[in-house]
């Protein structure tokens, strides 16, 4: 039998409360964009470029306009003539000559196309099939231009160029650190370790593709976009700026979202076209991307080549780190795509190690491929992978135990707060303690026995480790919420952070229970509506530590405001009012009033607070991940046998949801390490991996039984909850852990030189080639 006083214990923070979102989803009652249909709804289909680089000579839409059901056909020239602007570029990041270089990206290609799949025209018709048929009848005359899709080719002298401002295809570059001090450190080093690292291009591969339903509100003519996005306010702002609409004339609403992974963080050209078409036609227009369109035109992730060098003293102390990277940002350099590789990733490059001398040089390179942007981890997986591969190779090459090397270089707890060489301040962290817990969880010392059992089966066994941290928060630390106590015995909370399958609504509801002490069934969390409130949205693992902190503060402010209302209702002084478990009482008496009765007693029959609050800085979640693999030398087949991790994510609100985030993220990281890769044909610029027939996503049978634990002993000091971001930590740790395990297996078999050549994805053919003297490609 439960009592009201026990509710925060049963349903509040720290409890594995079942996700409130799941009941509707499991019953098929979810409300995704494509589930909505409106009277008079039309459908839009894009005609996309078959060429990676070409001049648009002419576009003939006459035949298409005459086909049954066709309502409109739009071209890039039409939108430019109407005053539609290009999407924002990368103005904040410049080349060495001070120029911000990127071609203008129009909602529909104008004059030139720069990658296969770029939208050239849009057809609106009564039915999807009518729109498809009409799109096929739009005749575009292209003049092919020289193209380049590979980083190695794009940076060669005389390579084809994408815009005049970047004659060498360098859109932007940044240098960090002290080159002279780094050179001096390398000159006096006892050991220098170097490694070439390739972070292959990836597709986000959300279950729900991008989808938009744009329609004018019949009551006031305002435009509404119902869409699958992580950042409703940001999308709205970009669309109104591009189309020249007043901000208050566009509303963006988000229902259920079938995955985002960073790919749905900003506005796409297609979003602009849908908004434009609905505004021009004054009727609903829907577009739901085909899977092939997603492979072609959604933002890709990663695609970086790095040369990393580390200087070490004789005792293993790291003296300096030098890094040279080229990042393929695709045909259009976006602010997000460039920032991730030139700034955000470098923020964590030195990770959990006490390294102050650095020399980093990063370049963003334009190619005739789809633009890159945020993908789970956004720069941090690339940085941490490079660092952890360097650590293991350094230990192997200088003959030092890899655990001892890490212990020698860990930032110590007494050094906190610690400022790294990129100027980022870690508030807390006990990195060696986390590693020690992970070693015990993984039974590190029992590896020899397991390796012998593998050997007897003809398998090579390897043991991999990664100790690391990451930055979370998007550096947007303010968030607004509204908290409303309603007369129907419900507390409604609105936040601008967004649900996309990660369970954030449940977690926010638990925080409301913490403050109000009411049953969780009394809490209703509302998300995804720019008319209800602005906010940055969900990106950079900020939903809980920024959005959750705002909910906590807003709920507490609501209680304080309600205390004054209760005092007036009960005719006593405010300081005599106490609150607990949904009831206000007068100290020392049995006089009181129920929270919801108090709401009904107000003139507006509600208690409402609009609250904006700020956290004081980012969070630095960290962890130690360990995995073991078996490698078949006869076939190159690779199996992950065990995976254990201890993760410092600060205070844990819902351990079930946190474990789901950590394990799900790890599966995506293992997918990159094992099998995922977006490939363009070098000679033609065509996308080779344009469907799930060709793009290998990770499967359940490739996932081990995860042993996942959290260490809550080092709460974050930058927010009132003490929480740290968690959504990307697993992805960041998994890739170096697995690749280090494979390198360990090869080294134990006397193939240490081959271990330095490992590049993801670790396909069976690539591994077989390495083991048997081939190129490993």
The H-assigned helical ranges of 15-96 are 22-26, 62-65, 76-81
Query: Tokens representing 55?
Result: 């001049």
How confident is the model at residue 135, as a pLDDT? 98
Residues 6+ apart with CB under 8 A from 414: none
Question: Residue 547 in contact with residue 555, Cβ under 8 Å?
Answer: no
**Three-point CA angle 14, 412, 469, nearest 5°:** 55
- pLDDT band at residue 535 under the 50/70/90 scheme: confident
- pLDDT band at residue 478 under the 50/70/90 scheme: confident
Query: Tokens representing 409?
Result: 């270089």
Q: pLDDT per residue over 94-152, tens digit each? A: 999 999 899 999 999 999 999 999 999 999 999 999 999 999 999 999 999 999 999 99
CATH 3.30.365.10 applies to domain 427-472+619-777: yes
Question: Residue 395 in contact with residue 402, Cβ under 8 Å?
Answer: yes
Q: Mapped to the 3 state alphabet, what secondary structure does 457-491 carry?
A: CCCEEEEEEEEEECCECCCCCEEEEEEEEECCCEE
How confident is the model at residue 774, as a pLDDT? 61
Nearest CA to 287 out of 297, 301, 275 is that of: 275
Distances, alpha carbon 244 to alpha carbons 239, 276, 285, 288, in Å: 8, 10, 19, 25
Question: Residue 747 in contact with residue 755, Cβ under 8 Å?
Answer: yes
Cα(377)–Cα(265) distance, rounded to whole angstroms? Answer: 13
Cα(722)–Cα(548) distance, rounded to whole angstroms? Answer: 11
Q: List the single range of 67-76, 178-187, 232-241, 317-326 with lowest mean pLDDT.
A: 232-241
How confident is the model at residue 7, as a pLDDT? 63
Residue boundaries of the structural domains of the chain: 4-30+474-614, 33-145+205-297, 148-192+303-421, 427-472+619-777
Positive or negative torsion for Cα 698, 702, 705, 711: negative
Q: pLDDT per residue over 267-313, tens digit each? A: 999 999 999 999 999 999 999 999 999 999 999 999 999 999 999 99
Cα(121)–Cα(70) distance, rounded to whole angstroms? Answer: 14
Q: pLDDT per residue over 168-211, tens digit each? A: 999 999 999 999 999 999 999 999 999 999 999 999 999 999 99
Nearest CA to 620 out of 738, 541, 707, 709 is that of: 541
Residues 6+ apart with CB under 8 A from 512: 483, 491, 493, 518, 523, 525, 551, 555
* For residue 124, cis peptide bond before it (omega within 30 degrees of 0): no
- pLDDT band at residue 697 under the 50/70/90 scheme: very high
pTM recorded for the entire structure: 0.95
Q: Is pLDDT above 50 for 690?
A: yes
Nearest CA to 57 out of 141, 128, 182, 1 is that of: 141
Task: Provide mean pLDDT across the span 643-667.
Answer: 96
- The architecture in CATH of the region 33-145+205-297 reads Alpha-Beta Complex (3.90)
Cα(622)–Cα(640) distance, rounded to whole angstroms? Answer: 22
Q: How many helices (H) and strands (E) in the chain?
A: 23, 28
Nearest CA to 262 out of 357, 337, 319, 342 is that of: 337
Q: pLDDT per residue over 300-335, tens digit each? A: 999 999 999 999 999 999 999 999 999 999 999 999
Q: Is pLDDT above 80 for 242?
A: yes
Which residue is listed with tokens 């591009």?
242
Q: List the single range of 61-65, 399-403, 688-692, 751-755 with lowest mean pLDDT.
A: 751-755
Query: Tokens representing 243?
Result: 């189309």
Which residue is listed with tokens 């000091």?
717
Mean pLDDT for all residues in the chain: 94
Question: Residue 447 in contact with residue 626, Cβ under 8 Å?
Answer: no
**Three-point CA angle 132, 330, 32, nearest 5°:** 45
Question: Residue 666 in contact with residue 645, Cβ under 8 Å?
Answer: yes
Which residue is listed with tokens 């490993």?
776
How confident is the model at residue 380, as a pLDDT? 96
Q: pLDDT per residue over 657-681, tens digit each? A: 999 999 999 999 999 999 999 999 9
Query: Tokens representing 678?
Result: 């977006």
- pLDDT band at residue 4 under the 50/70/90 scheme: very low
Q: Which CATH class is domain 4-30+474-614?
A: alpha beta
Helix axes 504-516, 549-570, angle to 10 degrees: 30
Q: Mapped to the 3 state alphabet, what secondary structure does 117-131 carry?
A: CCEEEEEEECCHHHH
Task: Provide mean pLDDT across the span 384-391.
Answer: 98
- The architecture in CATH of the region 148-192+303-421 reads 2-Layer Sandwich (3.30)
Same fold, 4-30+474-614 and 148-192+303-421: yes
Report the 10 Å Cβ neighbour count for 497: 29
Q: pLDDT per residue over 547-562, tens digit each? A: 889 999 999 999 999 9
């Amino acid at each position: 039998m439960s009592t009201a006083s026990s509710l925060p214990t049963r349903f509040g923070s720290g409890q594995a409360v079942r996700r409130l979102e799941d009941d509707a989803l499991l019953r098929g009652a979810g409300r995704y964009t494509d589930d909505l249909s409106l009277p008079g709804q039309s459908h839009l289909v894009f005609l996309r470029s078959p060429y990676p680089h070409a001049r648009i000579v002419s576009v003939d839409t006459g035949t298409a306009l005459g086909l049954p059901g066709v309502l409109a056909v739009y071209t890039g020239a039409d939108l430019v003539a109407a005053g539609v602007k290009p999407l924002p570029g990368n103005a904040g990041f410049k080349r060495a000559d001070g120029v911000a270089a990127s071609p203008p990206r129009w909602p529909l290609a104008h004059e030139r196309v720069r990658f296969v799949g770029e939208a050239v025209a849009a057809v609106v018709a009564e039915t999807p099939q009518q729109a498809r048929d009409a799109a096929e009848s739009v005749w575009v005359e292209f003049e092919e231009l020289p193209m380049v899709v590979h980083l190695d080719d794009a940076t060669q002298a005389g390579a084809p160029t994408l815009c005049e401002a970047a004659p060498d295809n360098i859109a932007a570059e940044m240098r960090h650190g002290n080159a002279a001090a780094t050179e001096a450190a390398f000159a006096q080093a006892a050991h220098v370790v170097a490694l070439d690292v390739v972070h292959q291009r990836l597709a986000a591969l959300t279950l729900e593709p991008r989808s938009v339903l744009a329609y004018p509100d019949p009551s006031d003519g305002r435009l509404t976009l119902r869409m699958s996005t992580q950042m409703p306010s940001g999308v709205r702002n970009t669309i109104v700026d591009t189309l020249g609409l007043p901000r208050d004339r566009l509303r963006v609403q988000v229902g259920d979202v079938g995955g985002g992974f960073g790919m749905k963080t900003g506005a796409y050209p297609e979003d602009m076209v849908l908004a434009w078409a609905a505004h021009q036609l004054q009727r609903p227009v829907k577009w739901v991307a085909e899977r092939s369109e997603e492979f072609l035109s959604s933002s890709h992730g990663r695609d970086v080549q790095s040369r990393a060098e580390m200087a070490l003293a004789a005792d293993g102390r790291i003296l300096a780190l030098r890094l040279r990277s080229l990042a393929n940002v695709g045909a259009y350099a976006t602010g997000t795509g460039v920032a991730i590789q030139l700034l955000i990733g470098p923020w964590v490059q030195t990770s959990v190690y006490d390294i102050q001398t650095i020399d980093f040089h990063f370049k963003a390179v334009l190619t005739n491929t789809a633009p890159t942007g945020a993908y789970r981890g956004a720069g941090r997986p690339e940085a941490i992978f490079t660092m952890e591969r360097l650590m293991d190779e350094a230990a192997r090459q200088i003959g030092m135990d890899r655990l001892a090397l890490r212990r020698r270089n860990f930032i110590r707890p007494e050094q906190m707060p610690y400022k790294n060489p990129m100027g980022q301040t870690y508030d807390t962290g006990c990195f060696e303690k986390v590693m020690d817990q992970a070693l015990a969880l993984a039974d590190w010392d029992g590896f020899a026995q397991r390796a012998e059992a593998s050997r007897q089966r003809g398998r090579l066994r390897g043991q991999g480790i990664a100790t690391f941290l990451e930055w979370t928060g998007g550096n947007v630390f303010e968030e607004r919420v509204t908290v409303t106590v309603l007369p129907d015995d419900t507390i409604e909370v609105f936040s601008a952070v967004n649900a996309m399958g990660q369970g954030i609504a449940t977690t926010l509801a638990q925080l409301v229970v913490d403050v109000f002490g009411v049953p969780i069934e009394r809490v209703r969390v509302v998300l995804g509506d720019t008319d209800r409130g602005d906010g940055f949205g969900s990106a950079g693992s900020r939903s809980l530590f920024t959005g959750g902190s705002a909910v906590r503060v807003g709920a507490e402010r609501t209680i304080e405001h309600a205390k004054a209302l209760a005092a007036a209702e009960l005719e006593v002084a405010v300081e005599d009012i106490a609150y607990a478990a949904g009831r206000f009482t007068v100290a020392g008496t049995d006089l009181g009033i129920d929270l919801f009765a108090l709401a009904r007693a107000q003139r507006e029959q509600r208690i409402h607070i609009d609250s904006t609050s700020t956290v004081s800085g980012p969070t630095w979640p960290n962890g130690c991940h360990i995995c073991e693999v078996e490698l078949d030398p006869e076939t190159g087949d690779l199996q992950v046998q065990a995976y254990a991790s201890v993760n410092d994510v600060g205070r844990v609100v819902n351990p079930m949801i946190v474990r789901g985030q950590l394990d799900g993220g790890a599966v995506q990281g293992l997918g990159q390490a094992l099998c995922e890769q977006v490939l363009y044909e070098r000679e033609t610029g065509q996308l080779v991996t344009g469907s799930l027939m060709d793009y290998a996503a990770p499967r359940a049978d490739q996932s081990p039984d995860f042993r996942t634990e959290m260490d809550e002993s080092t709460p974050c000091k930058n927010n009132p909850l003490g929480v740290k971001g968690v959504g990307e930590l697993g992805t960041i740790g998994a890739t170096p852990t697995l690749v280090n395990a494979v390198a360990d297996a090869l080294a134990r078999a006397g193939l240490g030189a081959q271990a330095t050549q490992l590049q993801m994805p670790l396909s069976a053919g690539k591994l077989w080639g390495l083991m048997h003297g081939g190129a490993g490609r």
